[in-house]
Structure 1
Amino acid sequence: MRKAISPSTRSLRSRIGQAIVEFAVVAFILTFLLGAMLALGFLFFSANVVQQAADVGAMELSRHPYTPTGKFHDALTDSGLFTEAALVVPVGTNPESLPLINRMLFSVYIYDPDIDMVRYPGTLVTNPSNETTVVIPLVGFGNRDSTTGVETITEWRKVVEEVTPARASEGPYSMLSTSTGTLAPGMVALRINYPYQSAGLVAYVHTDADGNLLRPSETIGQDGVLNVPATTDDSAVTGAASATFPNGDTLAEAGYTLVNPAVNTAFGASAHRGQYGFGEMGAFATAVRP
């Protein structure tokens, strides 16, 4: 026995199906925009926190009574404004117990499930005093393989450092400094490095149809541009041993030793996981870089 369906019923079902398709398209776009807004919002928040910490740190260090011919990092340590050891602290640490610069940066610290500690983002290392701390790896443009996504570390940076001319061992802090760049001797030039990683966006490299690496600005208006996701593989990262700090010291020469914590399998991907803190995320059934 057949049952007749009126034209109005068919029209209603058609409209329902159309609405579902439209919702699926709009929901994807809205979800993407929400993720982008959250990621950019945290980016600007982090930038503001780091800038404020740098401003206050430089101002307070300039007020610290220290020999005018002393070194920047000696004065920074002696002032008690910052300590490398406080870049990695136990869960539940009261920020008010930390040195001033560490305290101001605490709102951008992350929880690291692999070591069950709260820490500043970056690469975990031990310093010459055998304290666990953090340094920052830099990957310059063109040092991420356009096919495999493998990164090459080109330079290391301390979280808090003096701004120095290229390859100079010191900046303008000392009145006797001869490597002041554009600044005058006796000035505090303090920089704070922060390795921002988005927990909601995936890193890509852009190539043309022949596999040649393209800068983002070069992709505008081009046809055939390929987006290659940067896959997670810290074991393939190169350059870590030969990369240097601005003064020319390698990681080993500066007294740092890499820490490679075991992955806590009870937690999923982390935006700063891995031996170098480059992070990992799950996307398209692949572990990719954030």
Structure 2
Amino acid sequence: MRTSSHQDRRSLRSGQALIEFAVIAFVMTFLLGAILAFGFLFFSANVLQQAADVGAMELSRHPFAPVGTFDEALEGSGLYSEASLVVVPGTDPETLPLINRLLYSTYIYDPDIDRVRYPGTLVTNVDGDLTVVIPLVGFGNRDSSTGAETISEWRRVVEEVLPAGASEGPFALDSPTPGSLEPGMVALRINFPYQSAALVAYIQSDSDGNIVRPADTVGLNGVQNIPVTADDASVTGAASATFPNGQTLAAAGYILVDPSANPNFGAGPHRGTYGFGEAKAFATTVRPYRKVISAQGIYRREVFE
């Protein structure tokens, strides 16, 4: 009898340990996924800031004429190339322009085009090069029931920081719109659309169906958390949204590529017409968590022709 009772107690302890392991393993796996996801977010932010600082500093030291535009100087400096935002697998980063080289650790492999590229929307530019631009979805530019996106603005990966409503920044010494800076300054910004491979995008709405900012949901009753459905056909605003200088996608010479999905690969965090990505969850296809982060470097121009 004593032996049987002892064996029963051991059996109960074994079952209890299995349940505890199942609970702890789930929590630890969730935490590990979150650590990796946000770790890459912070890593990307550091890479962007370094690239922005170095790019702005080097551009400020190039001997350009006192007048002229930031875009002309950036292209003429050889520090950056739109065409180098999409490269073939196996490309040696050391062969890329300086800013592209610094950003290379944030590039992704895209199986739909069999290329290594910067995250964002695949387009061709005026020269016919395959490259990338970045769509912004501002607050309120989502459907309150599905989360379908409305593109509110386009951004280039590397751009000049422009004052609100201006088409020219502080680069030229005779710039009429330097904003809060003085004329003759390099104000360089780099944008990066971080999208998680593990976290799902949600929209929060109140009991009346009005979208609420996440920070405003604290203490609010009746908040609904709705996963964002991945549906590129429902995305609007792509043709009318503009770059900071006021140009639309077409006016800037960009054409959407919209690559076909590679059937050998499942959902991807950067797949789709606009690169918004997709993930399998909740028995449907949803958007991954997305955050566009920016870094900027500002230096006074040091050398002139």
Rounded Cα–Cα distance in structure 2 between residues aligned with 1:194 and 1:286: 27
Match of 1:231 in 2: 229
The answer to whether residue 22 in structure 2 is matched with residue 24 in structure 1 is: yes
- Counterpart position of 2:295: none
Aligned match of 2:6: 8
- In structure 2, the residue matched to 1:55 is 53
What do the CA deviations read for 1:233-262 (whole angstroms, capped 9, x no partner)?
A: 111101000100001110001111111000
Q: Which of structure 1's runs of 4+ aligned residues deviate more than 6 A?
A: none
Q: Which residue of 274, 278, 281 corresponds with 1:280?
A: 278
1:29, CA displacement in angstroms?
1.1
Structure 1 SS opposite 2:273: coil
The 1-side partners of 2:134 and 2:70 are apart by 19
Identity of aligned residues (%): 68
Q: Does 1:87 align with 2:85?
A: yes
Distance 2:208 2:163 in 1: 38
**Structure 1 residue ranges without an equivalent (≥5):** none
Task: Give the Cα–Cα distance (whole angstroms) in 2 for the partners of residues 214 and 10 of structure 1.
Answer: 54
Amino acid at match of 1:271: P
AA paired with 1:224? G
TM-score by length of 1: 0.96
Paired letter, 1:196: Y
Secondary structure (helix, strand or coil) at the match of 1:193 reads strand
Q: What is the SS of the residue equivalent to 1:194?
A: strand
Q: Which residue of 1 aligns with 2:300?
A: none
- TM superposition shift of 1:38: 0.4
Residue 15 of structure 1: how far off its partner (Å)? 2.4
1:261 corresponds to: 259
The correspondence for 2:128, drawn from 114, 127, 130, is: 130
Whole-angstrom distance in 1 between the partners of 2:250 and 2:35: 40
| 2:248 paired residue number | 250
2:189 alignment partner AA:
R
Give yes or no for the alignment of 1:189 onto 2:163: no
Structure 2 residue identity aligned to 1:89? V
Output the CA distance in 1 between the equivalents of 2:225 and 2:283.
16
Aligned-pair Cα RMSD in Å: 1.6
| C-alpha deviation, 1:269, in angstroms | 1.4
Name the residue aligned to 2:43. Answer: 45
TM-score by length of 2: 0.91
State the alpha-carbon separation in 1 of the partners of residues 246 and 45 from structure 2.
27
Match of 2:168 in 1: 170
Question: Take 1:223 and 1:176, find their aligned partners in 2: how far apart are those partners?
Answer: 55
Count residues in correspondence: 288
Amino acid at match of 1:232: A
Following TM superposition, by how much is the alpha carbon of 1:76 offset from its aligned partner in structure 2, in angstroms?
0.5
Q: Distance in 2 between matches of 1:98 and 1:229?
A: 39
CA displacement 1:262-283 (0-9 Å, x = unmatched): 0001011111100101111111
Residue 69 (structure 2) pairs with residue 71 (structure 1): yes
The 3-state SS of whatever aligns with 2:66 is coil
Structure 2: 5+ residue stretches without partners: 289-305
CA distance in 1, matches of 2:36, 2:250: 38
Deviation at 1:225, TM superposition (A): 2.3
